Amino acid sequence: MDAGQIATYSARAMWARDDASKWLGLTLDEVAPGYARMSLTVAKHHTQGHDMCHGGYIFTLADSAFAFACNSYNEITVAQHNTISFLASAWEGDVLTAEAREVFRRGRSGLYDVRVTNQKGEAVAEMRGASRTIKGRHFDPDKPEERT
């Protein structure tokens, strides 16, 4: 099994259990080793008191993309800490895309940068996340039934 297949099967296993991302309207668009792209179309229920997309939803989109990127090696990996900078507002109807890219990975530690853009390609937010690998894996590579 190559690294791309491992990333795909890991993402399938995670997505099957990721009720929060699905409930919020996030979509998982692409995964590869150390990389994930997710998107969200901002709906009325994502807006706050200024009619802008609530920062918590932008953070959730970035954090979810980070999670899929750092879990792309069939090792259970969690966030250790992360920071986000909001650069521009997002509005109802905007399509936000978060691209998470691995910066560093060694042993149980990883570092990832996530850029959130709107449908015009304009930067909305930048997040940096640190990950920590813990015990467990997403699927057993010796059991084909776990890869469906």
Task: Summarize pLDDT for 39-53 with one digit per residue, the tens.
Answer: 999 999 999 999 999
What pTM, to 2 d.p., does this model score?
Answer: 0.95
- Angle formed by the axes of helices 3-17 and 55-70, nearest 10°: 140
Tens digit of each residue's pLDDT (9 = 90 or more) over 76-93: 999 999 999 999 999 999
**Maximum separation of any 2 CA atoms in the chain, in Å:** 52
- Alpha-carbon Rg for the chain in angstroms: 15
